[in-house]
Chain A
Amino acid sequence: MAPRAPGPGEMLTMPKVTIDNKTYEVAKGRNLLEAILDNKLELPYFCWHPELGSVGSCRLCAVKQYRDEDDQQGRLVTSCMTPATDGARISIADPEAAEFRRSVIEWLMINHPHDCPVCDEGGECHLQDMTVMTGHAHRRYRGRKRTFRNQNLGPLIHHEMNRCIQCYRCVRFYREYSGGEDLGVFASKNHVYFGRFEEGRLELPFAGNLVEVCPTGVFTDKTFHRHFTRKWDLQSAPSICTHCGLGCNTLPASRYGTLRRISSRYNSEVNGYWLCDRGRFGYEYVNSDDRLLAPASGTDVVAPADWEAGTEVIAGRVREARERGTLAAVGSPRASLEANFVLRELVGAEHFNPGLADEERRIVTRFLEFLEDSSARCASLRDANSVDAALVLGADVTSEAPLLDLALTQACRNAGCHLTLTGLRRGRLSKFASEDLYLDPDQAARFGAAIVATLRGSPEPPEALRDSLPPSAHDRVRHTAAALSNAQRPLLIAGTSARHRGVLEAAIQVAQALESAPGGTKEPLVSIALAEPNTAGVAMLDGGEGPGLENLLSAIESGKVSTLIVCENDLFQRSDNPERLALALAKLETLVVLDQMQTPTVERADWVLPVAAAAESSGTFVSSEGRAQRFFQVKAPVGEARASWRVLRDLLVESKSAGSEGALEWISTHHVSSALAAAHASFAQIVDIAPPGDFRLRQQRIPRLSVRSSGRNAMPGMTSVRQHVRPPEDTDTPFAFSMEGFQGRGPTSLLPRYWSPGWNSSEAINQFQIEVGGPLHGGDPGRRLIEPGNRRSGSDGVGLHTVSASTVPTGKAEPVLMFCGLSEIFGSEETSRRAPAVAQSMPPAYVLLNPDTAVSLGVMENGRYELLLGIEKEFRQLSLTVRIDPTLPIHVAALPAGYPETSWWQAPCWATVEVTGRREQAEQEEAKP
């Protein structure tokens, strides 16, 4: 992947290259184009990309190379295909080279439609930039242009083939880099066509990167197209993706109060250049009609509710409940550390639940405990790019932590990674896997335990393990154990969406066995797939201390809790018993819910307080890597929504809680971060992630808008064009809602866009990297809060944790199946599925069965059935579409995790199944293509 910055020793032996009679030092192993760009010299290029490498197809980066000082003639070489060897002499400015580069653009322009005014890429087009850079301006071709027919590539990507300049970047990213199969090159000569065999949605869950990889407007963002704005009119600030726990860096952009798009923000340690499609296209929930716009009271008589009156009333209730000892709160893995911290201060640690489902919370807490005492390193995405062996237990990496899939793809392509998968069924990564097993989470845990036994020297796994694994697994145990123990950089990945502690325990034990083996791996890599942006942060804050959801429900039922504050959380997503939850919530005297959108929890609230989405507020998330990262407000919140931490601070101050005096001083996010850092040693570093809100450069703020923006009075132009419209105040960040301010380059953590003179497209990132494709000048933003300890963890035993809560029901006539959850990249995440493009991409609620199981149940693929599930002593009626997968184990039925229809599913369980009906009509509708 990305090259590391050269170490001090390497500097001494750096090759020297003479470029236009000036000598430059370059890193070893670079090609001439990289050497030129590393030194911030300008040379146009198309087909080369730091991650996709050199192929020499566009020929644009030609320079003159001379044999030695006496060679005056020289010859044109393609710089990306020529190594930068010590003593190389080249010229960029040579007239013949410059003329050739102009010619390349002229050739490409023969067929390019020159439709920049109606092209979404216009203004951030690498082709435009390169055309200007080469100086081609006069058209001599007088023939007709070739035209292509475009394809409908689904709801995410727009296709406009006439603009294509055949750099082959799209297929190199899609096929070679990512392993996608449904985008290809067709035809030849000047009719080369990049598209699908037939129209249809692109299958690769990273297809959105084509928008940035394509140097012109062939692949553009279809969601952006519906509310298009030129790049120079976009208002943006650095942010963090909110649709899983990986913490990919993003650049959301807005105009006229709506969020318009997400682009990837480069971070060499985290997401590099990429984003997954959920991260890129899930943003539109922020613009949703379901957004809560004003504080509202369901049952109280204070009406119309407003912030001041509401805060006063709620603060009164809070104070009263606190005095009675009946106050509790639920935080959220999708809220900032700051909001969770203030909420916890408001109710006290012993009454604060972090807002994770109980099993998920136990898994995450256990993982964090393990990291504390282990020499294992919590892997960054960049680490995962170059591992030489990886074992995935109980996770569907592709949908739970999508960019981890892309990183493992690179490890398999480049580092010969021995990848072992133990998912429920065949998935996207399967074709890269050395061992691909289809196991239920219990079996996956046993498989892990068998590997532990093998690593600890037992020649054969214990009989109990052997018997419970399919025979095909035995060889795979040995192969995987051998691969892991021979690896320099083994990586163990556990999922959380399986909701199974056993797989995590198995992964931990494998790590421990690797560390403690004689001559074992010093620092095995571990990773956990977390579902939400701040799951790790809220679990660290909670430390497993507060009450569980189950305890909380009991406390409500028994009247020990009368007032509950829920911050950015839909409890129905976390509970395995929605009926019981609904009854409990109804029993509360006061339910206060802070959230962005209508949810079943919001429906039951006495007080609904609208709060800002991540793109509308600032704060800190901790990613699954343990990396604390700051996100900054991009746009003003919708309606009267406010940042959660502010709402909670006001309640804290108003309710005069003990220790609330300090909260009076919390004016900016940074004050809260500092208070948190002071209160919890593990968060001490979060103040250093980014400069505080009062940070200024030459006494100026950093503008969120580019200097080319259409003018300050135009910003609220959809409502008013009066003079002297003041941009909103911002105490939280050093950014201004304006194009005015500091025009230079601020710190890396405060880059609101990538632009450099002559570089208007996303390729401008080259100008911000120390070496192209490497770390950013000033370091990549974010701080890792958890580094490996130096002691090796103990535990020599082989423990086994399997589904214990529910056992196989016996004595029933109906078939018994283990119901497991499947994470869906489009659909399982709560906020992104409110974005229309993601909603269109999500499969309807289903039950996935092995074909034999379907036969024995008498159900047909794509049919919609009424199913009655018997789980222990309870029954649950479901209406689901049947889907079939021959790779799914015969005893497993899989449900999409996190769907509203299946939100009760919180852990694997055995259940009897009875088919009670069939919906003919629905079936016909869905049968339509």
Chain B
Amino acid sequence: MTDITPVLTANIEPGRAPLDRAGYEQAGGYAAVRKALDEMSPDQLLELVKESNLRGRGGAGFPTGMKWGFVPQGPDSPTPKYLIANGDEMEPGTFKDRLLIHGDPHQIVEGMILSAYAVRAPVGYIFLRPEYQRGADLLRHAIAEAEAAGYLGKNILGSGFDLELHPHVSAGRYICGEETALMNALEGRRPNPRSRPPYPAISGLFGKPTIVQNIETLSCVPHIVNHGARWFRRLGLGEDAGTKLYCVSGKVKRPGIYELPIGVTLRELVFEHCGGMQDDLEFKAAIPGGAATMLMTPEELDTRLDFTSLDKAGNRLGTAGVIVIDDRTCIVGISLNLQSFFARESCGWCTPCREGISWIVDVLRDLEEGRGEPGDTELLMREMKMIGPNAFCALAMGAEGPMVSALEKFPEEFETHISSGGCPYENPPALPLNGNRDQE
């Protein structure tokens, strides 16, 4: 079993309040800020992050340093630039940012100071899902402490660099995690995604260059500064760098969050760290990275859970919110649960996502409730492949992954639902709230 010294979760202890500034400093906190602001130019910091091969932890896995490099710099470039920490975390099965926000807020503040320094952003926002209200309070407290210590505000540690941070608790919508929708929400508009180009790094929040990074990504930055790019790269087991917070849910013996070197196999995660399946249950499938990734079968247990390996397998690491599905759970039911979520969370901007996914839900519900008709699986496959790639943003593509992989990898479950007139499983999963409170 792979074992590591925790990095991102080093300061987090269950049942204990997060470290205050003094505690955080004692544990080595804010050393990276001192180091970077004293010794490094923003460009050197950016180079360091590029070398570290840090990839975005929000789901897309985009190389962080490369993204920062897109921000126009120089005397004629637009100002101000903005840094946004994306703590919307509405992806099903994903709860890693919650741990970081509630467990070590100073780590996030420090990561933001460093990242903002690298892209020369004087203002940062921390966008949080509404349930993280307490997290927002903790962050506000941490920000106030950091300000008092001169880590935030004007002329930080005499470097001439200014930064102010503002937590913002969103009204709550999955689509707000999409960076352009997030910026619209932050501007007080409907959270509809924007068309690209222009990319946010060029024209984002209020039309200014903007970098949006996931909470976990930002939390990695202080450690890269403290220990170097090479150290960070070597943490990974495969081709990717760093550690990763894996969230495991489903009927395993020990579900929860595991900080492990990125690139552990699905088998090691489920059967060693999580102690395997609960008694009398067999592993049937897993979704590696929240709702928007593809089902993995027992044959894929030895796949490494990192960006590169899953990309090669035609899958995606996503948020590394691993949802384990046991042999008594219905794949059609899982699909109905997931698709209901995507249909509910569609912002309603484009036709395929708004209308198409609701239709998918309707057909899946027919299958579950015994109204399935021959041809329904073909219909699901055809529609989903038409919807996914042709919608305005990636939400529908997210819906396509689990649906198409379920149809491809478990076709017999769908056929059984049609031929036997309903769901053969005893316990169909609960469905997410419809979200139409006026109708319920």
Contact = CB atoms under 8 A, between A and B. Distances in A.
Interface of A: 55-60, 62, 76, 81, 99-100, 103-104, 107-108, 110-111, 140-143, 165-166, 168, 185, 187-192
A190 B391 contact: no
Given A103-B383, A140-B379, A185-B190, A108 B355 contact: yes
A166 B173 contact: no
Contacts of B359: 107, 110, 141, 143
12 contacts: A56-B350, A59-B352, A62-B390, A100-B390, A103-B352, A104-B352, A108-B355, A166-B351, A189-B344, A189-B345, A189-B346, A190-B346
Interface in B320-355: 343-352, 354-355
Interface in B164-195: 173, 190, 195
Nearest to B436: A191
A59 B386 contact: no
Contacts of B173: 188
Given A103-B386, A141-B362, A191-B348, A59 B354 contact: no
Contacts of B345: 188-189
Nearest to A107: B355
B375 to A, nearest CB: 9
A110 B343 CA distance: 14
Contacts of A100: 386, 390
Contacts of A110: 355, 358-359
A104 B190 CA distance: 23
Contacts of A81: 195
A634 B125 CA distance: 61
A188 B347 contact: yes
B435 interface: yes
B356 interface: yes
B390 A59 contact: yes
A142 B362 CA distance: 9
A613 to B, nearest CB: 44
Contacts of B195: 55-56, 81
B428 interface: no
Given A56-B392, A191-B436, A107 B344 contact: no
Contacts of B362: 141-143
B386 A57 contact: no
Given A81-B195, A107-B355, 6 more contacts: A57-B351, A59-B390, A187-B436, A188-B346, A191-B436, A192-B348
A379 B356 CA distance: 48
Which of B355, B366, B435 has the most chain A CB atoms inside 10 A of its CB? B355
B207 interface: no
B172 to A, nearest CB: 11
Interface of B: 173, 190, 195, 343-352, 354-356, 358-359, 362, 366, 379, 383, 386, 389-392, 435-436
A107 B387 CA distance: 10
B237 to A, nearest CB: 35
Contact of B343 (A140, A185, A189): A189
A595 B427 CA distance: 81
A513 to B, nearest CB: 36
A366 to B, nearest CB: 45
Contacts of B190: 185
A57 B355 contact: no
Contacts of A168: 349
Given A57-B392, A76-B389, A100-B390, A187 B355 contact: no
Nearest to B356: A107
Contacts of A188: 173, 345-348, 435
A317 B359 CA distance: 79
A891 to B, nearest CB: 39
Nearest to B355: A107
A354 to B, nearest CB: 52
Contact of A76 (B350, B390, B392): B390
A141 B359 CA distance: 7
A58 B350 contact: yes
A100 B195 CA distance: 20
A189 B358 contact: yes
Nearest to B347: A188
A190 B390 contact: no
A107 B391 CA distance: 12
A190 B361 CA distance: 12
Contacts of A185: 190, 348
A59 B346 contact: no
Nearest to B175: A188
B385 to A, nearest CB: 10
Contacts of B435: 188-189
A99 B382 CA distance: 11
A57 B195 CA distance: 10
B430 to A, nearest CB: 19
B294 to A, nearest CB: 21
Contacts of A103: 352, 356, 383, 386
A141 B354 CA distance: 15
A104 B352 CA distance: 7
A104 to B, nearest CB: 5
B343 A190 contact: yes
Given A143-B362, A191-B436, A58 B351 contact: yes
A343 to B, nearest CB: 57
Contacts of A59: 350-352, 390-392
Contacts of A187: 348, 436
Contacts of B348: 166, 185, 187-192
A103 B351 CA distance: 10
A733 B346 CA distance: 55
Nearest to A193: B348
A139 B349 CA distance: 23
Contacts of B358: 110, 189-190
Nearest to A76: B390
B87 to A, nearest CB: 21
A107 B354 CA distance: 9
Contact of B349 (A57, A108, A142, A191): A57
Q: Which 7 A-B pairs have the closest CB atoms?
A: A107-B355, A192-B348, A143-B362, A189-B346, A188-B348, A190-B358, A59-B351
A140 B378 CA distance: 13
A189 B383 contact: no
Contacts of A142: 362, 366
Contacts of A108: 351, 355
A95 B186 CA distance: 41
- In this complex, the member of B343, B352, B366, B389 whose beta carbon has the largest number of chain A beta carbons within 10 angstroms is B352
A187 B436 CA distance: 9
A58 B391 CA distance: 9
B162 to A, nearest CB: 30
Which of A60, A104, A191: most chain B Cβ within 10 A? A191
Given A100-B386, A110-B358, A188-B173, A60 B351 contact: yes
Contacts of B379: 140
Residue with the greatest number of chain B CB neighbours at <10 A, chosen from A55, A103, A166, A190: A190
Contacts of A192: 348, 354
Contacts of B356: 103, 107
Nearest to A60: B351
Contacts of A58: 350-351
Contacts of B351: 57-60, 104, 107-108, 165-166
A95 to B, nearest CB: 13
B350 to A, nearest CB: 5
A119 B439 CA distance: 27
A166 B390 contact: no
Nearest to A192: B348
A55 B356 CA distance: 19
A111 B347 CA distance: 17
Task: Tell me which of B351, B386, B391 has the highest count of chain A C-beta atoms within 10 A of its own C-beta.
Answer: B351
A59 B396 CA distance: 13
B244 to A, nearest CB: 32
A62 B386 CA distance: 12
A190 B386 contact: no
Which of the listed residues A103, A140, A168 has the most CB atoms from chain B within 10 Å of its own CB? A103
A183 to B, nearest CB: 14
